[in-house]
Structures are given as C-alpha cells and as structure tokens.
C-alpha cells in the first residue's frame, strides 16, 4: 500500500503506520524519526534541523524534499510505503506529487486521522517514547504505561518525554499544524485521494484502511 498519513501531532500517525507495516510489509517513513536520527548523529542535516525542531517549527521544505527524494527511491519502497509526518506543507505536497510521477508511484490514499483537540492535547502531554533509536516504542503514562515505570517493555531502555513535548513546544506545534498542514486536507480532497477517518482508536483506523484497500 502507498499511503500518506495526515493528522495533527498526537493523532496517532506513528502508531497506525507501525500497525500497517505488519499488514503487508510496506515501510514506514517518518520524517520526524529521520530528522531525530540526523540530530543524534550530528550530521549536516541534523545541525540544520535541530533548532527548528526544538522550537516546534517546521524544518525548511528544501531540506525535507532532499531527504524524501532519496528515501522514496530506495528499493524497499517499491512494495509500498506509509508516509508519516510528510508532506507537512502545500509546497511539500506539490513537490511530492511531481516526485511520485517521476518515479512512477501511485498513491492509494491520503488518510486524514481526525481526532478532537482535547484528545490530542491530553495525549501529547502524557506521551512517552523509548529512548533507544532502534526501538522508539510509544507509551502513554495514563492509557498505556510501560510495565515497569520508565523502562521500555520491548528493549529495556529508558522511556522519556521528547524535548519537543514540553507544554510550550506542544502548543507551538499545534499552531504550526493548523496554519501549515491542515490545508493539506483540502489539497488531497481536490486530488480525489482523501480518506477521512474519525481516529480515536488505532485498531479501528487500521481496519477501515484495510477495508478501503480491499484487503480486510
């Protein structure tokens, strides 16, 4: 499957993408994960991206398109991909459209995970992430805590709060989302690709996507 996952920070794009990879082996491509990896590794890209990310601002479009041009042409994408956190702006969506035409890939849907704002705010402030870059399991202190507090169930590494998940950075990210990313819903509606889903449960989202793809 070839999908874009749209939705506010905390809408569950990463969780849904992980569940979908298990359906047919399509790869999850998260620009947020790629960027955090680059920051940790101290690469040129990481140095350029770090300050924007800490502040909850978007990284410039040209940096993101540079990453995605390469990533989408890697062999593992031929089978299918789940774009998680990309595109985030109208210019990125337009550039993606050209890139997909160039490489001859056709999207199935742009899935919009529609979640009420109160739910988003609550999830983001209570979200915790495994600090191991190869794991990055997601927890929630209220609804899905690790079995041992602060320790990842899967790999035993410390479970932490991301530095862009302070209250200030969260409200900035939501503001950035409303201003820059929410317009993509209309963009994909016009493209005839939009699949809007009320997304309070990830399992229901996955089921709905499978039904629409005819693989349920």
Catalytic residues: 13, 88, 127, 162, 173
**Residue 32 or 146 with smaller CB distance to ligand ADP:** 32
Instruction: Provide the binding-site residues for ligand ADP, judged by CB under 6 A.
Output: 9, 31-32, 35, 52-53, 56-59, 64, 85-88, 92, 164, 173
Q: What binding mask, one character per residue, do residues 154-173 give for Zn ion by CB under 5 A, x or -? A: xx-x----------------
| Binding site partner of 152, from Zn ion, ligand ADP, none, Cβ cut-off 5-8 A by kind | Zn ion
Q: How far is the CB of 46 from ligand ADP (least distance, A)?
A: 11
Q: How far is the CB of 151 from Zn ion (least distance, A)?
A: 9
Angle between helices 44-55 and 167-176 (to 10 degrees): 100
Number of residues that bind Zn ion (CB under 5 A): 8
Question: For strand 127-130 and strand 138-140, is the pairing parallel, antiparallel, or unpaired?
Answer: antiparallel
| Binding site partner of 52, from Zn ion, ligand ADP, none, Cβ cut-off 5-8 A by kind | ligand ADP
Choices 4-12, 65-73, 136-144, 169-177 (CB under 5 A): range interacting with Zn ion: 136-144
Buried b or exposed e, range 114-142, using 16+ CB within 10 angstroms: bbeeeebbebbbbbbbbeeeebbbbbeee
Residue number, nearest CB to ligand ADP: 32
Q: How far is the CB of 69 from ligand ADP (least distance, A)?
A: 13
Taking the C-alpha atoms of residue 108 and residue 80, their distance in angstroms, rounded to an integer, is 10
Backbone CA torsion sign across 214, 5, 195, 117: positive
203: how many CB neighbours lie within 10 A of its CB?
Answer: 10
| CA 114 distance to own-chain centroid | 14
**Residue 21 or 157 with smaller CB distance to Zn ion:** 157
| Binding site partner of 130, from Zn ion, ligand ADP, none, Cβ cut-off 5-8 A by kind | Zn ion
DSSP 168: H
Taking the C-alpha atoms of residue 110 and residue 100, their distance in angstroms, rounded to an integer, is 14
* 3-class secondary structure, 182: coil
> Could you list the residues that contact Zn ion (CB under 5 A)?
130, 132, 135, 137, 152, 154-155, 157
């Amino acid at each position: 499957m070839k999908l874009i996952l749209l939705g506010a920070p905390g809408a569950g794009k990463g969780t849904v993408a992980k569940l979908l990879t298990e359906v047919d082996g399509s790869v999850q491509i998260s620009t947020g994960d790629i960027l955090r990896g680059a920051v940790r590794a101290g690469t040129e890209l990481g140095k350029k991206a770090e300050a924007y990310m800490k502040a909850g601002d978007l990284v410039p479009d040209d940096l993101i398109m540079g990453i995605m041009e390469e990533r989408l042409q890697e062999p593992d994408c031929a089978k299918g991909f789940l774009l998680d956190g990309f595109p985030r702006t109208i210019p990125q969506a337009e550039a993606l459209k050209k890139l997909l035409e160039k490489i001859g890939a056709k999207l199935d849907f742009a899935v919009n995970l529609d979640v009420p704002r109160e739910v988003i705010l609550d999830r983001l402030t209570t979200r915790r992430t495994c600090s191991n870059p190869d794991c990055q399991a997601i927890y929630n202190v209220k609804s899905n805590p690790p079995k041992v507090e602060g320790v990842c169930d899967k790999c035993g590494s410390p479970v932490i709060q991301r530095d862009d998940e302070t209250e200030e950075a969260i409200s900035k990210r939501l503001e950035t989302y409303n201003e820059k990313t929410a317009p993509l819903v209309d963009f994909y509606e016009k493209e005839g690709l939009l699949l809007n889903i009320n997304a309070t449960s990830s399992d229901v989202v996955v089921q709905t996507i499978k039904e629409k793809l005819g693989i349920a």
